[in-house]
């Protein structure tokens, strides 16, 4: 049985996480165009290593989840948002995604958050089922918010109390 481990990201993870982002890109979950060289750095002033939890499978980076405070005001500090969630294709179906979401919930609690929010595309059924199984509920739907691969796709807001 493969051994998994979830840990905070470090600066040394940048290239592996950026590569994972590029190879897992899909309109199932991405609204931005496919990344093309030259690739910008993954870590910058808005994407700090401390925002990421990294999943390793048998010692190799196999996924991540990113937690951010979307509205940088003291009055909104009690709400965190999952803004980035990736699992390598070869690691899917092994519980790594579930472990990352559970780690994000635990980390949000440890940071003092009272709520955890996220957005997911309506056609991303596997992610939606995972989020629902982990206690997230639909809090809003923006119909036909995105036009991807020739089809209009809903943007779904989900959240859960911590």
Whole-structure pTM value: 0.94
Chain segment 61-117, per-residue pLDDT in tens: 999 999 999 999 999 999 999 999 999 999 998 899 999 999 999 999 999 999 999
pLDDT per position as a tens digit, 12-33 = 999 999 999 999 999 999 999 9
C-alpha dist (Å) from residue 147 to 33, 85, 136, 158: 12, 21, 25, 20
Question: Nearest Cα to 36, choosing from 17, 50, 49, 22?
Answer: 22
């Amino acid at each position: 049985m493969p051994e998994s481990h979830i840990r905070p990201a470090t600066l040394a993870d940048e290239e592996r996480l950026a590569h994972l982002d590029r190879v897992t890109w899909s309109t199932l979950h991405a609204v931005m165009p496919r990344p093309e060289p030259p690739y910008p750095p993954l870590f910058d002033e808005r994407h700090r290593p401390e925002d990421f939890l990294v999943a390793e499978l048998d010692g190799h980076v196999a996924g991540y989840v990113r937690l951010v405070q979307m509205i940088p005001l003291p009055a909104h500090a009690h709400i965190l948002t999952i803004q980035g969630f990736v699992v390598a294709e070869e690691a899917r179906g092994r519980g790594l995604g579930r472990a990352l979401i559970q780690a994000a919930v635990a980390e949000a609690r440890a940071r003092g958050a009272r709520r955890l929010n996220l957005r997911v595309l309506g056609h991303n059924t596997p992610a939606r089922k995972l989020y629902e199984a982990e206690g997230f509920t639909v809090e809003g739907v923006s119909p036909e918010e995105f036009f991807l691969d020739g089809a209009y796709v809903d943007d779904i807001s989900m959240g859960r109390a911590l």
